[in-house]
Structure 1
Amino acid sequence: MRSYGIIDYHISSSIWSGIKRHISNVTNNTCWQLGKGDQINFWTDSWVGDPLVDLLNIPRHSHALLQAKAAHFIVNDHWLIPHSITSIYPNLVPLLNSVTIPITKANDELRWIHSDSGVLSFKDAYLFHRPIGQHIPWAKIIWCEDIPPSKSCLMWRIMHNRLPTDDLLCHRGCYIVSKCDLCGKEAETIHHIFCDCSFSKAIWHWFASVISLRIDTSTVSSIFDICNKNWNSQCKIVVIAAVINIFTIIWWCRNQHRFEGKSIHWRSAINTIISNVSLSGNLSKKSSFVSMQEFVILKAFNVNVHHPNAPVIKEVWWHPPLYNWVKCNTDGSALGNPGIASCGGLFRDYTATFLGGFSINIGNSYALHAELIGVMNAIEVAHSKGWNYLWLESDSQLVNLAFKSSLIVPWKLRNRWFNCLELTKTMHFRVTHIYREGNCCADKMVALGINVDGFYWWDNVPPSVQGDYISNLMGLPSFRFH
């Protein structure tokens, strides 16, 4: 790119010839972050989202005549749009108000819209172009730090029908007389060996009696449904290890008979399974609050119960600010990633008197966005009301880190964030972290934001916040268990 445009001449480059055909993808998935506004075409560039010519349905034959820059419509850090334009396009002003004009002018920058940083990295390019992967429910089960990789690899081959069974060898052109080495009654297939063979059925029946549950052996993948039950951490590892070891031992017994001429009884195979599962269960760092059923399972595999550490009880206190200071507790949440998001906060003085609060329905967003928007609204409200001694408190560690490094802030919020940082320079300002148990009032304000439309200001303590507010007023502690 040269002068913020795509070059139309040849250059000597080892990579340009390969990437230039993807330039349209780059331009269609980038957006300008407003700075000075002198590089952004007000009408035809993407900086409000889609170009204004598309949002306002301006005829295409007029696009070449629209050469005004965004800087031409900014006066004293405010939008100044001629009445002749707003009368024709009444929707223009709401679109412009959604974009924050930075107080400290920087250069306009192109941002990749699919990343929070706005930077197009090789990883972002790969994620954009890669095909959508297939969701395989058993993948995270077999690849586990408590299972030896060799057994996980064999399990992967079984799930993908990549074992050299007789039917697969015949399919590849190696025609042989097929007979199951475990039961000697039917032709050998993956489904028969692990699901239908009398040898395998005896082992699955034993395992079902240990866990006191029915196991669906109609398919190989259906057997893994037993791993998705609501087991506690250590017991779940034991069950997963048992299932995988049963598969591997069945295959090992088959190979022993075929290549070594050794017939292994299914009861001997069970002893090997118990030994292997015991090793995984005892070496696992997982702990468990065991029920009687899970206790029986662990003891059946000679696994010692790893009791969790005793909970540490910590008192969490909300402290009022110093004399003449105002303290604002903020919070934000999203019901999904992304999902319906809201944020809120409340202001109290040094006597813990309620000065006001706000709840905001953000719409569909992320939890970090909600947390940051709550903080920015708190700073803007405090500045507008002349509360120049502001103590901001949040239960988000990322919010506290964002005041030290703005790279944490998503680029779409960065202009507003920088403006808020400039406002804090005119205040006596501090920001601290508090545990969630001490931030209950702000949490209740967030819950109210789900049911409001946009921004809502509370002059009095909402009824749902009264209980926690009185507890803070009386200096009562909350308790954190971890």
Structure 2
Amino acid sequence: MGFRDTRNFNLAMLGKQGWRLLMFPDSLCARVLKGRYYNDSSFLTTTRKKHASHTWRAILAGREVLTQGLIRRIGNGETTLIWRDRWLPNHFSGQPLTPSEGQLVSRVGELLSENGQWDEALIRQIFFPVDAEAILRTPVRPNHEDLWAWEPEKFSMYSVKSAYRLLDTRRINESNLQAESVSENTDWNKLWKLKVPPKVKVFWWRVINEFLPTRQILHKKHIEPIANCDLCGADSESIRHVLMECSVAKSFWEYMKSTTGAKLPMLHPDSWAYDLISCKGVAKQDQAVFLIGMYALWMQRNRRKHGEPSRPIKFAVQWAVDMAFDLQQAGSAPLSVKPQGTPLWQKPEAGWLKCNTDGAFYDR
């Protein structure tokens, strides 16, 4: 049994008071507070007044917890706002990703057909595919009004325990993000010191953070219907697959080995991207060749994806090797700088006349 975070526990308790105001708006307490603090708005949208009581300020602090887990359960959709309320369970922030600018619909009820079910044609016309799928799998009860529910609980009722767990999870995630931020800065410092072009450094930062739009990543985000590699037919087109495991990548690295002797080492599936910039199992002189080579493979993949002709393997390898060599030479070649001295006047040679002049340019 561990000690509880006192502040989060208090906030979870205060969230319970906000839940009661939502669920029992006709109670004496709710009517008194509404008349005093939010007569012209709602509990969820009102702002803190300048001379609010300590009790009301505490309830508003609990409201911050409440809004993290509140979600609308759709009935007839008449009181739920599409672009402002949380109403899509297990879908990002609970709201559509589709931009609201220029949209003609504002309430969820406008997305229902005459029989009270989702108007699939209209929904697919308005929303991104990932939003449309989330909407169509959301249950509706057309003969009931929309209700507020507490998403972390199975039966939709607020509990201090689940609210505390929600806050504790957020605290742990924030701590992990801070640790990852420190690690990311360290990784970026290593990247910055590499003798590769800036575009390759940015590319590798995206590799480490999985920001490349491979089919596997797009499928996980419900953007691509399948995750397989359309070139070799593998089940999952991951970043590692494109750069190391695909048939094109294997041919690339085999040709690289035969022409330069640089052999791509066996790297751990989970840490391979970090290992390449940390020189773990990688010779220092081969590091730039590997990173530039993988950048070339990614560009080859994109050309094929967009129907453009890709370079033959030997030309792609030669391009990567030449670029790495040029950068290495540029970094190691000494700079010849002539010493700057104070110019002295010298008389002309015999038989010559010398006229000293000066000039200036004034840019208006």
| Common fold by TM > 0.5 | no
More strand by share: 1
TM range (shorter): 0.3 to 0.5
More helix by share: 2
Q: What's the TM-score, normalizing by structure 1?
A: 0.28
Q: What's the TM-score, normalizing by structure 2?
A: 0.36
